[in-house]
Structure 1
Amino acid sequence: MNKKTLNKLEYNKIIELLTDHASSFSGKERCKRLRPMTLLADINAAQQQTAAAFTRIVKKGRLSFSGCNPVNDSLKRLEVGAALGSGELLRICKLLETAGRAKAYGRHDNNDEEEDCLDSFFQQLEPISLLTTEIRRCILEEDELSDDASGTLKHIRRSISQMNDKVHATLSGMVNGSLRSYLQDPIITMRGDRYCIPVKAEYRSQVSGLIHDQSSTGSTLFIEPMAVVKLNNDLKELYGKEQEEIQVILARLSEDTAQYIEEIRTDYTVLGELDFIFARGSLALDMNASMPSFNTEGRIRIREGRHPLLDKRQVVPITVTLGDEFDLLIVTGPNTGGKTVSLKTVGLFTLMGQAGLHIPALDRSELGVFEQVYADIGDEQSIEQSLSTFSSHMTNIVSFLTHVDERSLVLFDELGAGTDPTEGAALATAILSHLHNRGIRTMATTHYSELKVYALSTAGVENACCEFDLETLRPTYRLLLGIPGKSNAFAIAGKLGLPDYIIAEAKTHLTEQDESFEDLLTDLETSKRTIQKEQEEIAAYKRELERLKMEVRQKQEKLEAQKERILREANEKAHAILSDAKETADETLRNFRKFGKENISAAEMEKERERLRKKMASVSSGLTLEAKKPKKQHKPSDFKLGETVKVLSMNLNGSVISLPDSKGNVTVQMGILRSQVHISDLEIIEETPSYSAKQMHKTSKGKMKMGKSFSVSSEINLLGKTVDEAIAELDKYLDDAALAHLSNVRVVHGKGTGALRTGIHNYLKRQKHVKSFRLGAFGEGDAGVTIVELK
């Protein structure tokens, strides 16, 4: 791409924005060198990298590369065996720490996350944690090593501290003792690297020692007393040893670092590349940009593109197509109407896209790949070369007109301006016709009506205009494809206060053809707006229709699924009922054959018939669709403790163990199940009163037996009783049940620790009139109930 075009389309300003998003020297340098590419594979690869960085920033936040400092010079010194300073080692350490943070950032948190094109970069990073830990342990700051860097350094510094204490103690004794009256001030000071005291000049002979300095007035001499000369010498020697040990430590660290020269160099290169890529992703995020698709057919489709250098809160999006149905787009309209912005947007998007940057436009925007972009935009007047505006434009156009080809994009701003309108229009038409005949993608802005007519009358050429609001005298900056724009000179002049008679006079100078053409443009613009509004309404209706269709389809699918489920469940229930009916029929036949052989009494046969009738009734009741309702509405006062009730919603019998509360809820014990039930869901089971002792005395033995058959329940509740209490009660109950000719009874003992159940089972094993017993099945009370079959 030629540098002049990059400057005219303000590509350099985009690069400045991009550079601001990089945080390392290497990354910033790569941003500054970024130029549009021309190979489709390279462009797509760069776009994929930008998209991957954009996605990672959205998910995990931005990644800083500020610790990626230049280390190439230090690595070259290591290669020749030189020792590095503490500052250089710290810079390498920060680089490796940055590599460690970047590698951790690059890991996928979830296994289901898809890999992207940046994984290969993160995998190349080597943090070398052992080296960074050692450098951090030894070097605290750029000019400070830790005492723990080596045992020798720690010993030397301890000796220095002790020597300093001795010097201070000696000098403090002098300052506060015998020499106090000879001193200018009672202080200890340093001159060079020697401890001194400030002695008045007139007392020089009273203080023996070495003079190291004097004040500017000469009244004070800074003397090192002889008593501390040796101590200062020893201290200086210790400082020398300290520096020697520091050099030894730095040499050792440099030797350790030299083992990883290639890894460090790779880290620096990869981090710089990642910083460059993430700067592109960060810029895309700030611009709310998207990845365009690319083609080699020169086709441009920008959907609601926003110029990236304008305020994104105020910029008006434009939609532009070029290179599909037409290869030449002529944009007309008044000044300051947004024509140049539209032109620059197309050119700048092309450059940004081919540089691997996302563009601030809607998804599914499309750009062509061009070898060159030529632009003639702005005021080309050159005073130094004595060229007029027209001459400068022509010079620029001539410079690239001979180089353009089918892989070029050409942009003209106010083509043919700056000269006689008639000749300028003819020249502009000829230039555009030449480019159009060669199939070169071209976009031009103009005021000339002749070019509007050329676009209307030539196949493959399209008009466009920037909308202008005559009420506010302001452009809307919306680009309308398909119709030419009006200059609106008379309307603008009238709104600004030019007298009507002058405007009327001006209109008389227009030919009838000019007036008709302007009226045609007005009608076209009005029709365009109406059609566009109707299209937007139609699109909204279509979206609403699609939404409704989707809802109907989802509801239909849901109904079909429910229908299949209901049919499947109904078939399963029918199959179960048929199986149960078959078993009942088989059992009935077996029983009646047995009755015939064993001469069973009529009472037993009647009892069996009653059992079958109840079973059929329960099956029939289970098939009804309506929920059972109690035979009558009960009042809270109707319920008493121990009352036998039926829970309609669960089709289970139970006993009331708490009276109704203020809300009408009753606690019901149903086997091992205890639940709160509203009285509206309960039906009191009317039981035949038990026979009294008085009646028993009055009746015969046979009559007493008949009475028990009406009063003995088929269930006994032993919950909460001890084993002995339960056995005593169960023994009497089983006698009554046997006398009442019950074949099966239900013993409720609960689960608990299992002691009560075990005691009951041991008791049942010893009873002669017990044929068999088993734990309740699911729906019968499970392990909290034992079903006993009597002989």
Structure 2
Amino acid sequence: MNERALETLEFNKIRNQLIKYAASELGKRMAETLMPSTDFPVVVRLQEETDEATTILRLKGHIPLAGIFDITPSIKRAEIGGMLNAQELVEIASTIRSGKQLKKFFSAILEEKDLPILSELTNDMNPPHELERIISNAINENGEILDSASIPLRTIRQQIRNFESRVREKLESIIRSNSAQKMLSDAVITIRNDRLVIPVKQEYRSHFGGMVHDQSASGQTLFIEPQSVMQLNNDLHQSRMKEQIEMERILTELSNETGNYSNELRQLVSILQQIDFIFMKAKFGASMKATKPKVNDDGYIKLNKARHPFIAPDEVVPNDIVLGKDFTTIVITGPNTGGKTVTLKTVGLLTLMAQAGLQIPAQDGSEIAVFASVFADIGDEQSIEQSLSTFSSHMVNIVDILKSVDHQSLVLFDELGAGTDPQEGAALAMALLDEVHNRGARVIATTHYPELKAYGYNRAGVTNASVEFNVETLSPTYRLLIGVPGRSNAFEISKRLGLPNEIIERAKSHIHSETNKVDQMIASLETSRREAEEEEKEAKEYLKLAEKLHRDLQQAIMEYYEQKDELINKAKREAKAIIKKAEFEAEEVIKELRQMQFEKVAQIKEHELIEAKKRLQEAAPQVEEQKQLQRKQKQKLRPGDEVKVLTFGQKGNLLDKISDDEWLVQVGILKMNVKEADLELIKSTPTIEKKPITTVKGKEYHVSLELDLRGERYEDAIVKLEKYLDDALLAGYPRVSIIHGKGTGALRTGVQQYLKNHRHIKSYHYGHANEGGIGVTIVELK
């Protein structure tokens, strides 16, 4: 990859931002040496591994990567027989422990998700559990060798504690004696040269005998080891020397054991480094709301709402950029400070990021090509970095680019041909574009030269582009317009800034007529494009609304038919039960008559027969005759009337008369054609209403998501509740709220008793604290 392009496109800043997400020095080291790959299969794998890590972060929110150290130098020393110190051994044990935790973490996830790359790494990771156990039993997390590390060490340390205790006892008896109080500077025991001593005033130096180990800065206090404790201090010192020898022996033994596991440890370190680096990429991508791009080796770039990663999210303007299919070269024309250079850098930097396995700040569905080389000649005067703005500097860079550019290259030219005579610069720019384009490279170039506006129309595979400029606000919008060349806004800007019209008109007269025509054409294209975008946006909103209405209608129809079938089935079951009961009763009557006949023969009295006949009539099913579906002779229907559809038993409103005997009726959110004979007038519209009503609106016909029954009498409340639930079911609501208040609880109990017996209620419960608590019942509808 071209080093100059990496520097120009500021890929090093990407590395620096990536390092912030490192969990260990191992991952940090990989980030510092990160380079884009030019191998297509490698780039595909890098993107896949980043995506797998993103999936885990999305599911779990974290990954246990703490406690990982770079133990490679320690492994090398252990291999050649060197002795590791306690801290190095602690880091080795910590790294092994982290590997064990990480493997356990992945094992649980891999049972549910298919993550082949991380699964492969996990399977290859075999932390040496035994080594971690041995080290942990000998050394604690603070790097202190434990008494349990060996039996000799435990014995020696017990001796040390005993000697130290005896020395302290003797010294404490000295400093507590009345005769010694005046001889001591302070009644304390302290340590000098690893020996326990007491602070004695200078004038009493010879009183205690023994050895002077130190004195105060003023010389008035001497730190003396009294003669009476010298032997005990000698014994203590010797025990400490034995302790040191035993600890070195333990460390040597643990170091040798570490050397035996050098291969497993190296493999563990390598895998932990890769995992840390993979999750660094995922965390970095999440921080800038990046997505995984599709990768190809066809030279095709498609960026959806791409953003430059170094521009603040509240300032950056996302752009759609396409290159590599219908055209392989884009020439962006227009004035300065419009965002042309940002577009170049965005395409170049996002390409490098993708080839390095990083996700890119663009929307889903974006696609990036893998290029063998990325070249950039960008002299950005607005950049903090030193720009290459002179003609000679540009030419030196361009000559280097031409030596290597081919069909697998992405070339970015900023202000091509600038810094010299405009006529010669424009001619040179077109010649350079021809050369690079003919070699098959993907090219994006920016220029000021108006001559290049026609370049895209005269060359196959080349298109113009520009960055939109708002003349009203005198500022660029930074939106890239592919297919529309840039135009000069000098006259419009000058006019808005107050330059007299006569000067502007005089200036226009010096412009070639063809140039004026081109600018007018470009202005017309920009206007048409904006109008088309607004119309497209409005059409999408209407489409969304239409789709929602369609779904609601389908749902309502399905619920209607389900309810209809359920009612029919219920009616059949009830009828069957009634008939069965009637048959049983009839059989009982007949049985009794026969018994009476058998017992009394001809003595059955008339009243007994009449009673039996009455019982037979009562046993027969009482079927209510269906009301004839006919309207009263007096009813006159008009659009807007409130009616009842007799077939469904639902209320609605007349919208329009379709034919002599058929009306269009609005029932809830449904509109249906109904025969006039199937309608019953409930409420007429006032006679002053002359105009036919085409739509029914108003609070009366709008089904709210809640019903307020507070202050209602119990009987009235239940009637309102029954009607409201019917309307809510017809409107297709899955969930409504019944507000009954707390009060004495009578209304609340009545409401819930009614809901309990309603066949279309799935469940109900009191509202949460923020929904009204026990003053509100939340109802889930079937």
Aligned partners of 2:68 and 2:94 also within 8 Å = yes
Question: Secondary structure in 2 aligned to 1:430?
Answer: helix
Aligned partners of 1:421 and 1:448 also within 8 Å = yes
Question: Secondary structure in 1 aligned to 2:404?
Answer: coil
Question: Secondary structure in 2 aligned to 1:67?
Answer: coil
Q: 5 Å matches for 1:53-92?
A: 53-92=53-92
User: What count of residue pairs does the alignment treat as equivalent?
Assistant: 633
Structure 2 CA distance, aligned partners of 1:574 and 1:159?
Answer: 100
Question: Secondary structure in 2 aligned to 1:41?
Answer: helix
Structure 2 CA distance, aligned partners of 1:411 and 1:280?
Answer: 26
Structure 2 CA distance, aligned partners of 1:512 and 1:665?
Answer: 83
Counterpart residue number, 2:479: 478
Q: 5 Å matches for 1:19-38?
A: 19-38=19-38
Distance 1:402 1:131, change over 3 A: closer
Structure 2 CA distance, aligned partners of 1:398 and 1:677?
Answer: 87
Aligned partners of 2:583 and 2:619 also within 8 Å = no
Aligned partners of 1:184 and 1:199 also within 8 Å = yes
Counterpart residue number, 2:2: 2
Distance 1:166 1:339, change over 3 A: same
Aligned partners of 2:293 and 2:360 also within 8 Å = yes
Question: Secondary structure in 1 aligned to 2:312?
Answer: coil
Aligned partners of 1:466 and 1:478 also within 8 Å = yes
Of 596, 604, 621, the residue aligned with 1:617 is: 621
Deviation at 1:130, TM superposition (A): 6.2
Aligned partners of 2:75 and 2:258 also within 8 Å = no
Aligned partners of 1:96 and 1:132 also within 8 Å = yes
What amino acid does structure 1 have at the position aligned with 2:542?
Y
| Aligned Cα root-mean-square deviation (Å) | 3.9
Distance 1:235 1:389, change over 3 A: same
Task: Deviation per CA, 1:35-76: give whole Å up to 9, x if none.
Answer: 222333322222222122122212222325242101122223
Question: Secondary structure in 2 aligned to 1:289?
Answer: coil
Aligned partners of 2:376 and 2:411 also within 8 Å = yes
Counterpart residue number, 1:162: 162
Aligned partners of 2:90 and 2:140 also within 8 Å = no
Structure 2 CA distance, aligned partners of 1:677 and 1:523?
Answer: 67
Aligned partners of 1:379 and 1:389 also within 8 Å = no
Deviation at 1:377, TM superposition (A): 0.9
Q: 5 Å matches for 1:381-400?
A: 389-400=390-401
Larger CA deviation: 576-585 vs 356-365: 576-585
Task: Deviation per CA, 1:550-584: give whole Å up to 9, x if none.
Answer: 33334444445445555555666677778778888
Distance 1:580 1:52, change over 3 A: farther
Deviation at 1:471, TM superposition (A): 2.2
Deviation at 1:160, TM superposition (A): 2.1
What amino acid does structure 2 have at the position aligned with 1:475?
P
Structure 2 CA distance, aligned partners of 1:122 and 1:327?
Answer: 43
Question: Secondary structure in 2 aligned to 1:428?
Answer: helix
What amino acid does structure 1 have at the position aligned with 2:618?
K
Aligned partners of 1:595 and 1:605 also within 8 Å = no
Residue 343 (str. 1) matches residue 347 (str. 2): no
What amino acid does structure 1 have at the position aligned with 2:321?
V
Q: 5 Å matches for 1:256-271?
A: 257=258, 260-271=261-272
Deviation at 1:345, TM superposition (A): 0.9
Question: Secondary structure in 2 aligned to 1:145?
Answer: coil
Aligned partners of 2:341 and 2:380 also within 8 Å = no
Deviation at 1:232, TM superposition (A): 0.9
What amino acid does structure 1 have at the position aligned with 2:617?
R
Distance 1:200 1:588, change over 3 A: closer
Question: Secondary structure in 2 aligned to 1:617?
Answer: coil
What amino acid does structure 2 have at the position aligned with 1:59?
L
Distance 1:42 1:339, change over 3 A: same
Report the structure number with the largest CA radius of gyration: 1
Identity percentage of aligned residues: 41
Distance 1:573 1:65, change over 3 A: same
What amino acid does structure 1 have at the position aligned with 2:619?
K
Distance 1:662 1:105, change over 3 A: closer
Task: Deviation per CA, 1:16-51: give whole Å up to 9, x if none.
Answer: 111211111111122222222233332222222212
Residue 278 (str. 1) matches residue 282 (str. 2): no
Structure 2 CA distance, aligned partners of 1:131 and 1:388?
Answer: 61
Deviation at 1:361, TM superposition (A): 1.1
Deviation at 1:286, TM superposition (A): 0.6
Aligned partners of 2:189 and 2:197 also within 8 Å = yes
Deviation at 1:305, TM superposition (A): 0.9
Distance 1:432 1:589, change over 3 A: farther
Structure 1: segments with no counterpart, 5+ residues: 381-386, 628-660, 668-674, 682-791
Residue 427 (str. 1) matches residue 428 (str. 2): yes
Distance 1:572 1:390, change over 3 A: farther
Distance 1:606 1:132, change over 3 A: farther
Structure 2 CA distance, aligned partners of 1:109 and 1:561?
Answer: 42
Residue 231 (str. 1) matches residue 232 (str. 2): yes
Larger CA deviation: 78-87 vs 177-186: 177-186
Deviation at 1:207, TM superposition (A): 4.2
Q: 5 Å matches for 1:614-763?
A: 614-617=618-621, 620=623
Structure 2 CA distance, aligned partners of 1:59 and 1:450?
Answer: 55
Q: 5 Å matches for 1:296-311?
A: 296-311=297-312
Deviation at 1:425, TM superposition (A): 0.8
Structure 1 CA distance, aligned partners of 2:101 and 2:566?
Answer: 54
Task: Deviation per CA, 1:200-255: give whole Å up to 9, x if none.
Answer: 55655544323434556666554432211101100101112222332344345446
Distance 1:46 1:451, change over 3 A: same
Aligned partners of 1:96 and 1:126 also within 8 Å = no
Structure 2 CA distance, aligned partners of 1:564 and 1:617?
Answer: 22
Deviation at 1:596, TM superposition (A): 8.2
Structure 2 CA distance, aligned partners of 1:220 and 1:168?
Answer: 20
Structure 2 CA distance, aligned partners of 1:220 and 1:485?
Answer: 90
Structure 2 CA distance, aligned partners of 1:58 and 1:662?
Answer: 46
Aligned partners of 1:292 and 1:367 also within 8 Å = yes
Deviation at 1:132, TM superposition (A): 4.2
Structure 2 CA distance, aligned partners of 1:590 and 1:208?
Answer: 133
Distance 1:152 1:57, change over 3 A: same
Structure 2 CA distance, aligned partners of 1:591 and 1:297?
Answer: 97
Structure 2 CA distance, aligned partners of 1:371 and 1:315?
Answer: 29
Question: Secondary structure in 1 aligned to 2:410?
Answer: strand
Aligned partners of 1:372 and 1:407 also within 8 Å = yes
Question: Secondary structure in 2 aligned to 1:268?
Answer: helix
Counterpart residue number, 1:463: 464
Structure 2: segments with no counterpart, 5+ residues: 382-387, 628-646, 650-743, 759-782
Counterpart residue number, 1:743: none
Q: 5 Å matches for 1:547-626?
A: 547-563=548-564, 565=566, 609-617=613-621, 620=623
Q: 5 Å matches for 1:318-337?
A: 318-337=319-338
Structure 1 CA distance, aligned partners of 2:260 and 2:595?
Answer: 99
Structure 2 CA distance, aligned partners of 1:551 and 1:295?
Answer: 42
Structure 2 CA distance, aligned partners of 1:565 and 1:40?
Answer: 61
What amino acid does structure 2 have at the position aligned with 1:301?
K
Deviation at 1:615, TM superposition (A): 3.1
Counterpart residue number, 1:510: 511
Query: TM-score normalised to the size of structure 1?
Result: 0.71
